[in-house]
Amino acid sequence: MKNPNWRRLLLVLLAFTLLAAACGDDDDADSGGDDVATGDDADDDDGGDDAAAGLSTVCPSPLVVQTDWFPEAEHGALYHLLGDDYTVDVDGKVVSGSLVAGGVDQGIGFEVRTGGPAIGFAPVASHMYTDDSIHLGYGTTDGQILRFDTAPLLSVVAPLEKNPQIIMWDPDANPNVDTIADLGDEGVTVNIFGGGTFADVFVAQGIWSADQVDPSYDGSPARFVSEGDIAQQGFASAEPFTYENVFEEWGKPVEFQLLHDTGFEVYSQTIAIRPDTQDDLDACLQQVVPIIQQAVVDYAASPGHANDIIIDAVDQYADFWVYDQALADFSIATQVELGLVSNGPDGTVGNMDADRIQSIIDQLTAAEMDFADVTPADIFTNEYIDDSIGF
């Protein structure tokens, strides 16, 4: 994913100040993958009986997915596919069970592995080249471009249409700021983690000046709260909630803009494979990718089952990371409201656009970042996408 995954490092430090998780009752809980019709071909959208009969002959069991962090609602589509027989390996930080889609056991096991500290904060791409038991892993467009020469990944489906990452600010302290570009015009200090790609792109584009970018952000809310007039990076599906509802010393709304809405339109947390495994996984991907597409739609409509698993797993891990019902509910509601999960412009969920990826290559090139020659076709494919599946 990112190099390193700054969002995750941010949330590591924020987690130490979060209130204790409260896993309240969820009236929306389901039994693991109730199918939501997406048109006349709903039975085909999730793989149906063909998938149930065929996955055990075409897919490895368990099918293993490596995520980039602890369980959270942004990973909801994956946890939605776990059956009620799921178990939590506390030491290995793995949730595993039957792969269930459309209420049907698909005949194979499914593992969702925790990233971040569980893999020594290694990038998912790099980790996939050290552990051959991983079949699918999280990728991000800019990370895939920058690591193409050392740890290439090929994205096969994008559960998130938009990257949740934001820049946020206090609207009272910055009344003339409505956008990320306005921060540049006003000369507002932007506190971010060092090493991210977007700041270099914005400076190269003239949106920000280099001297207003402060890469000393340590993940703590302390500076944002005490100074009040700076901007800070975060995620739309987390920080607006925690700053208003968890950090009592702040306790009010923030304004923000998605990085995506500036034109820096990376695909975040895609499901990717090592290119050298594509031939072996081809028959499996033909059936599993549409199942994941449908899971994105179904989770957004009925998040209870997946959120229950996410909260339960985090609770059993008993690590510094905490995740409660209120944050899970906020996250999925925000994902839907802001179109973080949504169809692409063609009405299909999970597919990717070559021009959009080429735009990121062009922006990284203009910012004079060092990476190998790469084309969009090198880092994504839509060949496994079912065009009929969407919201």
pLDDT for 45? 41
User: How confident is the prediction along the chain (391 residues), in pLDDT tens digits per residue?
Assistant: 333 333 443 343 433 333 333 333 333 333 333 333 333 333 444 444 444 456 999 999 999 999 999 999 999 999 999 999 999 999 999 999 999 999 999 999 999 999 999 999 899 999 999 999 999 999 999 999 999 999 999 999 999 999 999 999 999 999 999 999 999 999 999 999 887 899 999 999 999 999 999 999 987 899 999 999 999 999 999 999 999 999 999 999 999 999 999 999 999 999 999 999 999 999 999 999 999 999 999 999 999 999 999 999 999 999 988 899 999 999 999 999 999 999 988 999 999 999 999 999 999 999 999 999 999 999 999 999 999 999 9
> 22: buried, middle or exposed (CB in 10 Å: 19+, 13-18, 0-12)?
exposed
Query: How does strand 104-113 pair with strand 213-214?
Result: unpaired
pLDDT for 171? 97
Residue matched to tokens 């490596």? 66
DSSP class per residue in 35-83: ----STTHHHHT-HHHHHHHHHHHS-SSEEEE-SSSS-GGGHHHHHTB-
pLDDT for 30? 36
SS3 148: coil
Q: Are 264 and 366 in contact (CB under 8 A)?
A: no
Kindly give, in sequence order, each residue whose CB lies less than 8 Å from that of residue 333, ignoring residues fewer than 6 positions away. none
pLDDT for 327? 96
Half-sphere CA count of 83, side-chain side, radius 13 A: 15
The reply to whether domains 6-162+267-379 and 165-262 share a CATH topology is yes
Measured between alpha carbons, how far is residue 18 from residues 47, 89, 256, 324, 331 in Å? 40, 24, 21, 10, 15
CATH class of 6-162+267-379: alpha beta
Measured between alpha carbons, how far is residue 168 from residues 171, 182, 195 in Å? 9, 12, 19
CA distance 72 to 78: 10
pLDDT for 322? 87
- 3-class DSSP string for 76-129: HHHHHCECCCCEEECCCCEEEEEEEECCEEEEEEEEEECCHHHHCCCCHHHHHC
Residue 162: how many other CB atoms lie within 10 Å: 21
Residue 252: how many other CB atoms lie within 10 Å: 10
Domains of the chain by residue range = 6-162+267-379, 165-262
pLDDT for 44? 41
CA distance 155 to 385: 11
pLDDT for 53? 52
Give 125's strand partners.
none
4: cis peptide before it, omega within 30°?
Answer: yes
Rg (the chain; Cα; Å): 20
What CATH number belongs to 165-262? Answer: 3.40.190.10
Q: Are 247 and 221 in contact (CB under 8 A)?
A: yes
What do you get for the CA distance between the two ends of the chain, in Å?
26
In sequence order, which ranges of the chain are alpha helices (DSSP H)? 6-15, 42-45, 48-58, 76-80, 124-128, 141-146, 180-186, 197-205, 222-227, 239-245, 278-301, 304-317, 325-337, 354-366, 376-379
